[in-house]
Structure 1
């Protein structure tokens, strides 16, 4: 009896020691250099920018048909396929879906990098890959809204925001996503989006390059086991993000939206993690943010496979700063404007938004607000003390086309007081890269400093022109810097 008790105790101690050792291995984070090397090796070279179409992805999906189970889930409003890709044979099910909004494509790029990684072998990552394959079962839907993606717009072909169609399911794409979740019944879900570049970490000038959220499942924003797991996983993701982009991670507002997929999928029992890709200075095509997505998603999958998220707390989740919406492209401080023959100093806050047309995308500048702008932060800020708002003129000589005007000629015209030039040929709304207004349809240009105006004007000191503001771009007439313009012909 004593021998039996001693043997049982010994087996218990061995099991406990092995369990402790396993836990230590399971909870160890993947080193950043390993994540970076995996990304560099497996980055999908066929995708180089944010604007790609449904047809571009089809051969990239099919090339993974040997390792992934590929399934056509249905069709969009315009008849384009919505495809899922499945990998792994573990017990824990995880579903990831991207591009519910057609112009939010950053995470889609990173998913194709991840597909390449999961198919790799003999590269130093086999242990991680085998762990994922044996512990989790992955279902990816890389493009939920192909019609919106082809037009590079948020909504689908019915002009419906799919993220507000989880309950009524008017759209076929919403029906597809709901059925995929119900049939698969994932324990974890990743809802992958992009947010505007003007989101910041609240009350700081830092962009919220990545924002995270464990969506609420009711108006009371209560925390149950399902939502708590999502919060713990996000806390682990944030730990990695603070090494990659310190101070540039925000927490999205968790007010319950009863029509949204993220909120309802959380409600339906899937621990749901929202990733919103914002902006990063010098990364207009979001290629660095693509890399960050790859790293944090792979890291999160490792957490799920090992239950490593259990070492994190909901308190760590709530410690992530909130998102703000305080960033502007350009802030001009103390600009003098003349009203009723009196000069007044005021601040201008300007944003430039992307729009699409047949020639590509162009920027549309707008004065967002006027007055005291001290609560905002600018990607670019000008102290305009002593500078006066000055209107410009249109050059009386018409040019053949925008292609016939050089950047140097455009700068000379600006220095002469001409904000705009007329062209005889060329399509209205065609995109050009000149630092001047190109007018096809009128001899006048829209411009002003009041809220809602298109910001086209000069800043002068004692009558001498110092700066031009063209479509919200600031141009130093004495010391112009190299910058890319995406203006359109008016």
Structure 2
């Protein structure tokens, strides 16, 4: 670890180097130094685990930690303030209780802001003096406890911006109305099966500059969000090339993002999607860390204003063209006749009893010609026969579990709980 710190410091200590668009690379290389090691599994991190980490942040005199409010079930919701300049920026995570990727990244950012002597002190000074950052990690702690999207009242908080029936919703509006942030970061997770446009690439990260009216008008408030996203997209392309997408900007009158943009805050939505072999989203946590810190720097020094907002529209929009597994060119047999089919299988996470871990429940999602879709994992079965565990030909039905075999004279495979294995 000391060797890594030395290497990163030597590479990044020059303000000139950072000014030459290498900040993102330095953050990428150094992330392990700041990663909160006590948090590596999304479900295992609950409100009680957040408390000691909030106390750790208090050790930095540049942080002011307050209880901003309480959840419906009485759990404390914290606000951490860093900085003393303008403009004010508000960041909140886990509005949906089962979307924890950005909460983990926020903890890493707290560690980053608590550090010193590693080549990043100029950035910390800039953020401290030229902005005021307000962080609200785990806005929905009751939902996080159950690992569910909704609050304890079973209300989707992101559809409660008008009625404000949840105390958590009331708190978020109060923060926006009193802090009057120039920029807000609304941090979420999305399905890991979104595609980047119509391509075969899975959307690792998706951005949105939310609309504030049905016409999706672009005013100066929304333009600033677009410019920030253009910069973040450029930086992330270095680490997830062709895997950044744009979320649909269809206006949703009940949603917080749309209303916060209407209330005068430039709203940047970040959605953490899917990345192969990253079920706990640790790599996407790192992408959030980089995207947020590079954006905060551009807000502090105003460089985001140089970005061409038209490049926002060039980011491909999210599409739904992916399944977890596609088997292509399998052979099915029914009533003595054989025919060629593709098989799409998804693996859905199912919470254990206390919502601290999960198992997979697989299902057959589609069956037939799937040539216009992609699998995160794929197999060309080359005519292998679709059979059960005893070797008897079967025809799968929609909703069946993803448990079957594929047999041929050349090679055979087994699909178990939606995972592919060679036989």
Q: Structure 1 length normalisation: TM-score?
A: 0.78
Residue equivalent to 2:12: none
Give the deviation of 1:471 after TM superposition: 2.0
Q: Which residue matches 1:62?
A: 55
Cα distance in 2 between the residues matched to 1:387 and 1:299:
50
Q: Does 2:413 correspond to 1:467?
A: yes
Match of 1:213 in 2: 208
Q: 1:336 to 1:32 in 2, by over 3 A?
A: same
User: 2:46 maps to which residue?
Assistant: 53
Decide whether the 8 Å contact of 1:201 with 1:321 is kept in 2.
yes
Shift of 1:242: 1.2
CA drift at 1:113: 0.9
Separation in 2 of the partners of 1:87 and 1:318?
33
Deviation of 1:34 (Å): 2.2
Show structure 1 runs of 5+ residues with no match: 1-23, 394-416, 419-446, 478-490
2:99 paired with 1:104: yes
CA distance in 1, matches of 2:261, 2:353: 39
1:110-133 CA-to-partner distances (Å, cap 9, x unmatched) read 111111111222322211111111
Shift of residue 37 of structure 1?
A: 4.3
Deviation at 1:385, TM superposition (A): 3.2
Kindly indicate whether the alpha-carbon contact (under 8 Å) linking 1:27 and 1:308 is maintained by their aligned counterparts in 2.
no
Per the TM alignment, residue 107 of structure 1 is displaced from its structure 2 partner at its CA by: 0.7
Distance 1:143 1:456, change over 3 A: same
1:386 aligns with 2:379: no
- Secondary structure, counterpart of 2:51 in structure 1: helix
1:451 aligns with one of 388, 395, 398: 398
Quote how far apart the aligned CAs of 1:25 are. Answer: 11
By how many angstroms is 1:310 displaced? 0.9
Secondary structure at the aligned position of 1:295 is classed as helix
Counterpart in the other structure of 1:349? 344
Check 1:389–1:37 CA distance in 2 against 1; reply closer, same or farther (3 A cut).
closer
TM-score by length of 2: 0.90
Larger CA deviation: 228-237 vs 195-204: 195-204
The reply to whether residue 362 of structure 1 matches residue 355 of structure 2 is no
In structure 2, what is the equivalent of residue 34 of structure 1? 26
Please tell me whether residue 182 in structure 1 is matched to residue 177 in structure 2.
yes
> How do residues 70-469 of structure 1 correspond to structure 2 at under 5 angstroms?
70-358=65-353, 360-392=357-389, 449-461=396-408, 466-469=412-415
CA shift, 1:384, in A, is 2.3
Aligned partner of residue 175 in structure 1, secondary structure: helix
CA contact (8 A) 1:187 1:271 kept: yes
Pairwise CA distance, 1:338? 2.6
| Distance in structure 2 (CA, Å) of the matches to 1:455 and 1:91 | 54
Partner Cα separation in structure 1 for residue 270 and residue 24 of structure 2: 19
| Structure 1 contact 26–306 (Cα < 8 Å) conserved | no
Conserved? CA contact 2:101–2:285, under 8 Å: yes
* Conserved 8 A contact 2:334-2:395: no
Could you say what secondary structure the match of 1:148 adopts? helix
Structure with the greater alpha carbon radius of gyration: 1
SS of structure 2 residue aligned to 1:180 = helix
Give the SS at the match of 2:238.
helix
Q: Is the 8 A contact 1:27 1:306 kept in 2?
A: no
Q: What per-residue deviation string (whole Å, max 9, x for no partner) do you get for residues 353-395 of structure 1?
A: 11101273001111111111111111222222322222235xx
Distance 2:42 2:159 in 1: 24
Measured after TM superposition, the shift of residue 38 of structure 1 is 4.1
Post-superposition CA distance 1:6-65 (Å, at most 9, x none): xxxxxxxxxxxxxxxxxx999753433322344232221221222210100111001112
Larger RCO (alpha carbons 8 Å, 6+ apart): 2
CA distance in 1, matches of 2:401, 2:24: 44
2:3 maps to none
